[in-house]
Amino acid sequence: MAEAPFGLLAELTHRCPLQCGYCSNPVELVRRNAELSTDDWLRVFDQARALGALQIHLSGGEPLLRPDLPELVVHANSLGCYVNLVTSGVGLSRDRLRDLASRGVDHVQLSLQDATREGNDRIAGIKAFDRKVEAAAFVRDEGLPLTVNTVLHRQNLDNIAGIIAMAEEMGAERLELANTQYYGWALRNRAVLLPTREQLAVADPIVSAAQARLRGRMEIVYVIADYHEAHPKPCMYGWGARQLTVAPNGDVLPCPAATVISSLKIENVRDSSLHEIWHNSPSFNAFRGFDWMQDPCRSCPRKEIDFGGCRCQAFQLTGDAAATDPVCSLSPARSTVDLILETEMAPSEVPAMAMRKMS
């Protein structure tokens, strides 16, 4: 039997005021009229807690767009869960945050697109920078822990020192610097987003120095630009191992991007319980453990470190979700990634960013 998940990522809605081109949500977003009801979410939270989850991440899209957010927070809190609000900061007034904190929000994760107003608002597609700075101040004044999350790519990587300084100024306890992962909408913009080797060579030591300088004050988590690496990331720390995601329409996903694997039959909370789906569904069991692996992963000593990489990336780049992640230098498909790096980073090929909008 699989061990209990640590947490539930509750994607309350795909609606969002921002238009980020790096968005990893699916190309086809869930419409408002297909979103789970309040009662559905209350049941999902009960089931997640009964399954053993102790953290509930209220995410999206922008969770502040759900009018029932206060009720959902109260319920998650009443179950004894640690409640994390994942937000763009747009729509987070001082009063609203105070109310949510009084109802049980324990932590806020705030996105930041870049260190300057101009850069942030260009990447976000709307004027959001000042709202984010204000939102960070409200969180700090309320005494809640703050994580700043910045998705890195070719358009902002040169400003990494400024982003770190900005997170310090905002009073963050934690900064996530996550190189873009190419799923969903982001895959469309890969040629605009892929960082160059030169950018990474400058950024990596800046991050390492900041990690050392800020140890004990602000934790910096750095997610690698895996296309440029010799080994893949340990995606999700293994499939169906630590977390489950419930999409706005109730689809239950072993990882937030799992809908890209078109061969996977996805279960829904309207038809089945989280307990049943987590333990017994074909989708959650498809890549658990090591038995599903092919060579070279099957006989590789790193399999317990990286779990063969990312299943979604393997499917997107090879058509086989059980293949070795093609970013691995041992993968027979590594040449696919090398070709992408070679062609999509040629300066003459750079297209305009396709902004994310719900049509």
By the 10 Å C-beta count (0-12 exposed, 13-18 middle, 19+ buried), 86 is classed as: buried
Picked from ligand FES, ligand SF4, none, the partner binding residue 330 (CB below 5 to 8 A depending on kind) is ligand SF4
List of residues contacting ligand FES (CB under 6 A) = 183, 235-236, 255, 257-258, 310-312
List of residues contacting ligand SF4 (CB under 6 A) = 231-232, 296-297, 300, 302-303, 306, 308-309, 324-325, 328, 330
CA-to-CA distance for 12 and 21, rounded, in angstroms?
A: 20
- Distances, alpha carbon 345 to alpha carbons 161, 194, 342, in Å: 23, 7, 6
Question: Nearer Cβ to ligand SF4, position 312 or 328?
Answer: 328
CA-to-CA distance for 258 and 278, rounded, in angstroms?
A: 14
Question: Nearer Cβ to ligand FES, position 94 or 288?
Answer: 288
Report whether 16 belongs to an annotated binding site.
yes
Please state the closest distance from residue 62 (CB atom) to ligand SF4, in A.
35
Question: Nearer Cβ to ligand SF4, position 67 or 301?
Answer: 301
Picked from ligand FES, ligand SF4, none, the partner binding residue 252 (CB below 5 to 8 A depending on kind) is none
Report angle CA 189, 181, 112 to the nearest 5 degrees.
Answer: 85
Picked from ligand SF4, ligand FES, none, the partner binding residue 206 (CB below 5 to 8 A depending on kind) is none
Report angle CA 141, 142, 145 to the nearest 5 degrees.
Answer: 95
Count of residues in the chain? 359
Question: Nearer Cβ to ligand SF4, position 70 or 234?
Answer: 234
Please state the closest distance from residue 80 (CB atom) to ligand FES, in A.
29
Picked from ligand SF4, ligand FES, none, the partner binding residue 258 (CB below 5 to 8 A depending on kind) is ligand FES
Question: Nearer Cβ to ligand FES, position 108 or 314?
Answer: 314
Picked from ligand SF4, ligand FES, none, the partner binding residue 310 (CB below 5 to 8 A depending on kind) is ligand FES
Picked from ligand FES, ligand SF4, none, the partner binding residue 160 (CB below 5 to 8 A depending on kind) is none
Please state the closest distance from residue 327 (CB atom) to ligand SF4, in A.
8
Report whether 310 belongs to an annotated binding site.
no
CA-to-CA distance for 180 and 226, rounded, in angstroms?
A: 9
Q: Which helix (H) or strand (E) holds 252?
A: strand 251-253
Question: Nearer Cβ to ligand FES, position 87 or 243?
Answer: 243
- Do 74 and 103 meet the contact criterion of CB atoms below 8 Å apart? yes
- Do 43 and 277 meet the contact criterion of CB atoms below 8 Å apart? no
Sequence-distant (≥ 6) Cβ neighbours of residue 353 within 8 angstroms: 21, 155, 189, 192, 193
Please state the closest distance from residue 299 (CB atom) to ligand SF4, in A.
8
Please state the closest distance from residue 223 (CB atom) to ligand FES, in A.
12
- Do 22 and 156 meet the contact criterion of CB atoms below 8 Å apart? no
Report whether 255 belongs to an annotated binding site.
no
Starting at the earlier edge strand, list the strands of the sheet with 55-59.
Answer: 219-223, 174-179, 146-152, 107-111, 82-87, 55-59, 7-11, 243-246, 251-253, 267-268
Binding residues for [4Fe-4S] cluster: 16, 20, 23
Binding residues: 16, 20, 23
